[in-house]
Chains A and B, each alone.
Chain A
Amino acid sequence: MALAAIPHPIPSELHPPDDPEIQDQLLSLSVGPTHPSTHGVLRLDLKLDGEEIVGVVPRIGYVHTGIEKNVEQKTWWKAIPYFDRLDYLSFLYGNYVYVTAVERMLELEVPRRAQWIRALLMELNRIHSHLIWLATAALELGAMSIFFYCFRERDRILDLFEMTSGYRMHTRYFAIGGLFEDIPPAWAAQAQEFIDTFPSRLDQITDILSENAIFKDRTIGVGYLSASDAIALGTTGPNLRASGFDWDLRKHAPYGAYTELDVNTAVATEGDCYARYRVRVEEMYESCRLAGEILQGLPGGPVIADDPKVVLPPREELHTSMEAVIHHFKHVVHGFQVPAGEVYSTVESPRGELGLVVVSDGGTRPWRVKWRGPSFVNLQAVATMVGGELLADLIATIGTVDAVMGDVDR
Chain B
Amino acid sequence: MSTTTPRHSRFQREEVAAATRLGASDAGPDRGGIAIATDAARRLVAELPEACSAWETWRGEVTVTLDPTRLVEAATFVRDELGFAMLSDISPIDWLDRHDKRFCVSYVCSKLVLGAPRLRLHAWVDEGEDLPSLIGVWPTADWHEREAWDFFGIAFSGREPMRRLIMDDDWVGHPLRKDYPMGGEPVKFTNSLREV
Contact = CB atoms under 8 A, between A and B. Distances in A.
Contacts, number: 156
Contact of B86 (A226, A231, A252): A231
Interface string A360-375: 0100000110101000
Nearest to A4: B7
Contacts of A220: 2, 4
A400 B29 CA distance: 33
B115 interface: yes
Interface in A67-109: 68-69, 73, 104-105, 107
B89 A355 contact: yes
Contacts of A5: 7-8, 10
Interface stretch (A154-162, A200-208, A281-289, A336-344): A336-344
Interface string B73-113: 00000000000011111010110001000000010101011
Interface in B152-184: 159-160, 164-168, 175-176, 180, 182
Contacts of A61: 164-168
Interface stretch (A29-37, A117-125, A382-390): A382-390
B160 A9 contact: yes
Q: Which secondary structure characterizes the binding site on chain B?
A: loop
Counting contact residues on chain A (CB < 8 A from B), the size range is 35 or more
Interface in B1-49: 1-4, 7-14, 16-17, 20, 22, 33
B138 interface: yes
A357 interface: yes
B139 A368 contact: no
Interface string A380-409: 100010010110010000000000000001
A247 interface: yes
A236 to B, nearest CB: 8
A296 to B, nearest CB: 25
Interface stretch (B55-63, B123-131, B188-196): B55-63
B11 A60 contact: no
B4 A231 contact: no
Contacts of B61: 342-344
A19 interface: no
A234 B144 CA distance: 11
A246 B112 CA distance: 9
A409 B106 CA distance: 20
Given A69-B176, A229-B11, A234-B86, A359 B22 contact: no
Interface of B: 1-4, 7-14, 16-17, 20, 22, 33, 58-61, 63, 85-89, 91, 93-94, 98, 106, 108, 110, 112-116, 118, 120, 135, 138-140, 142-143, 151, 159-160, 164-168, 175-176, 180, 182
Closest 3 CB pairs of A and B: A234-B140, A253-B116, A370-B91
20 contacts: A5-B7, A60-B166, A61-B168, A64-B166, A221-B3, A226-B10, A227-B17, A228-B14, A229-B10, A234-B88, A234-B138, A343-B61, A344-B118, A355-B108, A357-B91, A359-B93, A367-B93, A372-B88, A380-B140, A380-B143
Given A9-B159, A229-B9, A377-B143, 4 more contacts: A107-B59, A231-B17, A341-B58, A342-B120
Interface of A: 5, 7, 9-12, 60-61, 64, 66, 68-69, 73, 104-105, 107, 217, 220-222, 224, 226-229, 231-234, 236, 245-247, 249, 252-253, 341-344, 346, 353, 355, 357, 359, 361, 367-368, 370, 372, 376-377, 380, 384, 387, 389-390, 393, 409-410
